[in-house]
Each structure stands twice: as C-alpha cells, then as structure tokens.
Structure 1
Amino acid sequence: MTAALPLPPGSTLGILGGGQLGRMLAQAAARLGFDVAILERETDAPAGRVAAHAIVGAYDDPAALKALADLADIVTFEFENVPAASVEALVKLGVEVAPGPQALAVAQDRVDEKSFLNANGVATVAFAAADSAESCVEAAAQIGAPCLMKTRREGYDGKGQVWVEHAAGAAQAFEALGGRPVILEAPADFVRELSIIAARGRDGAIAVYPLAENHHEKGVLRRSVAPAKVSATTAAQAERIAHKILTGLAYVGVIGIELFELKDGSLLVNEIAPRVHNTGHWTQDGCEVDQFEQHIRAVAGWPLGPTAARAEVEMLNLLGDEVDGWAKYAAEPETRVHLYGKREAKPGRKMGHVNRLRGPV
C-alpha cells in the first residue's frame, strides 16, 4: 500500500545500506521524528547502531527485503550499487523507493549515465563503449590516447579504472580490469574539480547548494572547501546543469554532481551520484539545512529546506588511523567532528570527517 504523503512523524523510513551515509541519514531522520529501519549485509553496521530497526541480510535476500517492506513506509538507499532487482522486489511488495529506478539505472552504468547527460543537454568528455580487447583498441584510437578506461559498472574512489597511454595498450588494460564491459573517456583539461549538491522534492521544487571545490588523492576525496570561489556565471551554469539532470530523471531526493571546470570557464559533468555525497558533508555545519535532512525531507514529501551557506567550511576526510587524532580535532574550537562508528581503521578507509569553520560567508 502506498504511503500517505507527506509522511508524518512517527512513520518508518527504510534505508538500503548501513555505512556512514546511512548512519547520517538515520540521524537526520530521527531529528525529524521518523523511525529508521536499516538493511545491511553485516552485523554491527554503523547505521544499524543508530536506527530503530536493523535487518541483517543480503540486499537481494527475499526474506530480508520482505522484513524491510513490512517495517518501512518508504525506502531510500545510501549508495547506487544496490541491485536493481532489489528495488523492483520492494516495489512489488508495495513499498515506494526514492530516488526512483531510472536514477539508479542511469547511475549504475557509466555509458548510460553519459548518454543520459548528453541527451539532456549536459556536456561531458568524449567517450566510447567497448566490451572486448579488440573494441577497446578501436575505441582508444577513436577517442585518442591517453584516455581513461573504467568498468561500466561498479567501481568507486578510483577503483575499477586505469589510464591507457597508447591505443595498443588498451587490450592489456581491458584484461587488467577483468575483461568486463568498459567505457573509455577522453581526458578533461580542467583547472579544478567542483561539485554541486541539489535536491528535488515530490512537488518538483528544486533546491541547490553552493558549489564546493574538491581535492582528491589517489582517487579518494581528501578535502572540500565551500562555498567555492566561483563567478556568478559559473554558479548559474552549475545550477542549470542540476536542473536539467533532476528534471530529466523526475528525481526525488538529494543528488551529487561532480564537475570539471575547464580553462574557458565551461563545466563538464564527470559523474552523478543519486544519493547524498561526500562533497556535501560540509553542509552539516555550513548550511541552514544539511544534505542529509534535505534528502529525508524530499523522499518523505516534506517541503525542501533552505540551502543558504552560513559559514565557509573546509571538510577533511579522516582516512584509516587518522581517526585516532579525534581528540586533537575535538579540541579545536572552530572544528566539528563527525565519526562513523566503524570498528576497524583500515588503510584508506573513510572513518569520519571534520568540518573546519573558516568564518562567515
């Protein structure tokens, strides 16, 4: 049975995924008076420990999905690699999932993603699809080397991708990535990486946050500074991009859009993430309503909240044993500490983040 909207406080929101994004979504939902049910593959998951209900099971486990459907009025997800079949199963069980299946399908396949973007008037780098060693060589010759080869599906934080320096080396790169279907992308001659976090409500209303400037190390986000120092023209360009994507997907919820700023000031979309996003963590301490509450508001059918920046923020990811410095960060008056409750600090693992307040906007 379809839930009545707007979803009233006291209702239960389901979340597929129990990591840090699920944890922060659950905390935001609790502030708005909702109970949260988490479905996660592992016991003792970060999100499960702050939720009213924790279901342990595979995302495609029929019994686990049935248990989630019995508890939840609406379901959302914390990451885009949730099996599409799981979303379909929940819908068949009478539970709405937001964002919808189109956004999930587009974001799960890099060729489909860039094809969707181009079809909706959003520019990307040139790209080509390939599914064999021979077609990879042909695609690399077409795109021009050097180019970046990525698996079409899955892969994140720099995983599942390799640079192809010469077209002849594309076959070897294809095998190194497991012989799976790939996309080859032309390099972007960008001056910096930006991102925009945006939301669309059930009534079609759109709210956009100020841009963030992002810095990566070894494919992993190290820090974001926001609001980014951009011209009014660049900000308006990014907002137009967000509107085209959200409208084209008939989207409900928060979306993260990664951008390349080129030397001429134009913007290319690198990728989209149909969920709350690491580059939006600064909003927790820098905006009137953060991205996590905004996502809950959108999927629950509530009015979207204001996105104005209250402070300039530097967000720093804490990777691996960097989290052991929590006491130092906690002692800094201008720093806000956000820890994810993960039990083991593995090298490169995102264990938390800090938001340093640099002063008023």
Structure 2
Amino acid sequence: MALALSHVTKRFGSTIALNDISLTVERGEFICFLGPSGCGKTTLLRIIAGLELAEEGTVMLEGRDLSETPARHRNFGVVFQSYSLFPNMTALRNIGYGLECRRKPRAEIDARAAEMLKLVELSEHGNKLPSQLSGGQQQRIALARALATDPEVLLLDEPLSALDAKVRESLRLEIREVQKRLGITTIMVTHDQEEALTMADRIVVMDTGTIAQLGTARELYEQPTSRFVAEFIGRMNILPVENNLFAGQQLALPSDKQGATMIGIRPEDVRIHAGAAPSDPGLIPVKLRNTIYLGHLAHLVLDVGDSGKEIVAEIPGHACKAIVDAPHLAIEMRPETIKVLQ
C-alpha cells in the first residue's frame, strides 16, 4: 500500500519537530525511521498514525488524503514500546479486541484470533493472562492484535526496546518474517542501528526534524553523504585533510576526492602493517595506545605520529597478538575505502 508524505511540517511552540518531510513508502515495504532521541522520528510516526496533526503537508494512502482522517478510521495497526495488553483478558481476548470493537460475529473473532496466535507461534498460550507471559511473548501478542484487523499499514514504535538483548535479537527476525509472509507495508521507529540494518528494506536516517539520508543498509553504510550519517551508522574514523595531507602524510586520493577537507574510513578498512619501516611509501606510522579484545574481533586505538590524532582499526581476534608484539606499526588507507564527508 503506497504511502506518500509531502512537505510534512510540525512545530511544538518555537521548536520545529519536523521540517518539510517528503517520503514515499512502497506497497509491502519495510521502512525504519532511525535516529537519536529528539530527531522527530516518533512524531513523524504519530502523524502517519493520526495521533498527531501536521501543521503543513499531506499524508496520502493510495491517493487518498488522510490528513483529516481520525486515527480510528485509518485502519492502521500500531504496536507500541509498552505492550498495552489488557491485564484481565486472555491472550486470545486481547488479540480479538479490535474485532470486538468492530462488532464482528463471535465465531469470526475467535477464528481470526486463533489464526493470529498461530502466526506468532503462541497457540498453546491462548488462555493465559499477560502476567503469565514473558515480555517477548507479550509483544508477540501485541503484534498479533495489531494484525488481527487486517490493517493497510503496520506501525511499530520502538517495539523491542523494553526487551533484553537476546529476546530482541530473536524477535526482530520473527517480526521481519511475519511482515514478509503477509506482505504488509510496515514502518518502524528505532534508535537501534542494528535493528534497522537487519530488518528494513530501506532506512530513513533522521536528524533534527529532517531526513539526513534515505537508502538501503548497504547504501548508508558504504556511501554516507554526511558526517552525521557516517558516525551514526556503524563506526567511522573522521579525519581532517588539507591539500591531500593527513598528519603530514600524502594521501593517494582519486581525482573525484581531490580537495577534500574531511574524510572518513571504517575501522575494518584500515590496513595495519606490523614491523613496517616508518619511511615505507604509502604508509603512515602509528603507535598502539589501547587494545579492545572481543574474541572474534579486536579494536586497536592507534596514535598517528605526533599529530595528536587517533585512528581505530578493526582486525580479526586471532591476529591481535602479532600486532601487539610488533616493534613498529604503520597503517595504509586505500583510496577506494576513503569516503569524502561534508
């Protein structure tokens, strides 16, 4: 179901929460609004849901203007961070509540609730109260309830943030699998970049009420268009450059990157040469300041000569000892891995 936002603007007093947001979500697409607290992502979701009104702009669903349509008439399923289950109702009754409000026949409600319970793989828990379910199970019931009314769009407002890490990891895969199976257009708000990278077809990175960049996980990680996106998606070394020089060393920048004043390089793209002579061409001498050993990986914090600059490099855990024990270290930054940032 194609959802189109055009020039959406929202203010709270003198604060601009959303500034001229335009975006199209394709039918069956899974979109994530990703950004730090206060960037406007939840406000944008609430405007789509009809829980907030935009001061300017429109929200269109398959050509229908929803700007003046109340939330209860939009037929959107919403799952919040808090499970919001009725504590005195069983799982089945919670799932069927939206259908009860629509005065559907009891047999239809029971059949649909059982179908949704099976979809989220909790059939054996239908007669339990929320207090008898784990946090992950309660959130799956909330998801089943949102899907029971056959919504045109599914909206997820940080649905996993209240869960522990292992439950979050498994549940995000389950949600994605259900979304793909049903082919339902889905928008999720999150501040967790790993959630967005693993779940979304496309990610909307937001910053201070604007869209900083829109793209797939690969596009955002490999081709960030700004320093904000580069630092928010994964880890990035941000380095000042002047006349193609960094820390007094000439960089072999390609023609399209000549004249850059700020560059970025991912830690895994920094090549470390153990035992290299300081004068080796193309290499920048460094000194090891700190080692963060993570088992399969190690992060090395490196001081660049006497420049006062540091670079973080990522290497396989098994290579850590040879690097730490080396008498001299140097790094190489290959031109194709360098990103020019604004």
Give TM-score, length-normalised by structure 2.
0.28
**TM-score, scaled to structure 1:** 0.27
Structure with max Cα Rg? 2
